[in-house]
Structure 1
Amino acid sequence: MSLFPLTDRTQLLLEDILYFEGEGNYTFVYYRNRPAVLLSKSIGFLMERLPEGMFIRISRKYAIHKNAANSLQFEQGEREVTFFESITLTVSRRRWREFKKTVGTKPIRLRK
């Protein structure tokens, strides 16, 4: 396990991060097997400093670990990414095409 120094006092365990959720100037960090952590940094601040290509910004609010996505779903105009079979986040319309290209997976089209 290697820690990534984000600031002088904050280090992140990048391998275990599932996704980030931005809330204004704060960001929740969700890990695989650990409780969520709240950072007093914006998601934009994090994305500028994290290793390039490791995390994918899927909307203004969310960024996910590149290897976390299990499936893509497209249902009635909704663009979603599901991982760990229980976490589903919506991918913004603006970032959907880039997200599919980066992940390299064809969406699963579901119909009701």
Structure 2
Amino acid sequence: MRKTKVIIVDDELDAINALKSIIEMEPNLYEILATETNPLKAIELIKALEPDVIFLDVEMPELTGFDLLRSFDEIKFEVIFATAFEHYAIKAIKNNAIDYIVKPVSISEVLEALQKVRKKHNHNEDKTLKYNAFLEEYDSLEIQKLKIPTLSGVQFAKLNEILYFEADGNYTNLVIDGGKNYIVTKNIKVFEIDLPEKKFLRTHRSYIVNIEYIRLYDTHSSMLVMADGKRIPLARRRYRDFKEIIDLYLG
């Protein structure tokens, strides 16, 4: 039986070692050709070694996993993305039938993703077409922007970078991924109308959250814990909306 050839690309050695230890549990099925922490070097490795599948970290300092894919005119390998729950690209990944694993990785999740790759191997699928379709959908998510009037002038924020809106009287505090925040000269109700309802949720009279940045729902206190650690109340009357949008998001 032919072994499936694997390359692992991740800027964190601990993540690489975790994947290696799992893949090496099935030495008769999988062969690790190489691992690489530098995505730029990984491009040359992939071209030279021609793997069947690459485990590809989404967020890396020099180059994102998506940018790495763009460097190939023709894609002959399958990709298993390594990402986190809140990453806004997950919806596009699912929509295009691409596999992904969530960090920290589990044995069952990794082996199941690899098994899917083995089943696909004999299918005459146009991988270039599939991954280019994914990248187009990802780009459409990334470029969506919101016009925000602030005390210092008009700013533009990418929707996928907004964590939450917090009401402050007639103003709104807008918090962006990475620690930035803006005082916006609009009432929070205005944003509730303009924002895509499948992505943002009014959890309380004072808050609108981006569901992709929710880390935890504390059932005891009815509080949402956001990616920056902020605890945001979920009003009882908003719970059904919250459950519906999360179920839809997780597919």
Shorter-chain TM-score: which interval? 0.7 to 0.9
Distance 1:10 1:99 in 2: 29
TM-score, length of structure 1 as denominator length: 0.78
Q: Which moved more, 1:11-20 or 1:84-93?
A: 84-93
- Kindly report which structure 2 residues correspond to 1:11-22, keeping only aligned pairs within 5 A, or say none: 11-22=156-167
Q: How many residues align?
A: 103
Is 1:6 aligned to residue 147 of structure 2?
yes
Contact residue 3 and residue 11 of structure 1 kept, 8 A: no
* 1:84 CA displacement: 1.9
* 1:87 CA displacement: 1.9
Task: In structure 1, list runs of 5 or more residues that go unmatched.
Answer: 106-112
Partner of 1:94: 237
Distance 1:38 1:90 in 2: 21
* 1:52 CA displacement: 3.2
Aligned CA distance change for structure 1 residues 94 and 13 (closer, same or farther; 3 Å):
same
Aligned CA distance change for structure 1 residues 36 and 104 (closer, same or farther; 3 Å):
same
* 1:85 CA displacement: 6.6
Greater relative CO (CA pairs within 8 A, separation 6+): 1
Q: Which has the higher strand share?
A: 1
Is 1:62 aligned to residue 217 of structure 2?
no
| Runs of 4+ off more than 3 Å | 7-10
Q: Rg larger in 1 or in 2?
A: 2
Distance 2:155 2:218 in 1: 35
Identity level (%): 24
The amino acid of 2:197's aligned partner reads: E
* 1:62 CA displacement: 0.4
Distance 2:245 2:238 in 1: 11
Contact residue 72 and residue 81 of structure 1 kept, 8 A: yes
Partner of 1:108: none
Aligned CA distance change for structure 1 residues 88 and 95 (closer, same or farther; 3 Å):
same
Q: CA RMSD in A?
A: 2.3
TM-score, length of structure 2 as denominator length: 0.37
Q: Which has the higher helix share?
A: 2
Distance 1:85 1:31 in 2: 10
Distance 1:10 1:85 in 2: 22
Determine which of 186, 192, 216 is the counterpart of 1:71: 216
Distance 1:5 1:88 in 2: 24
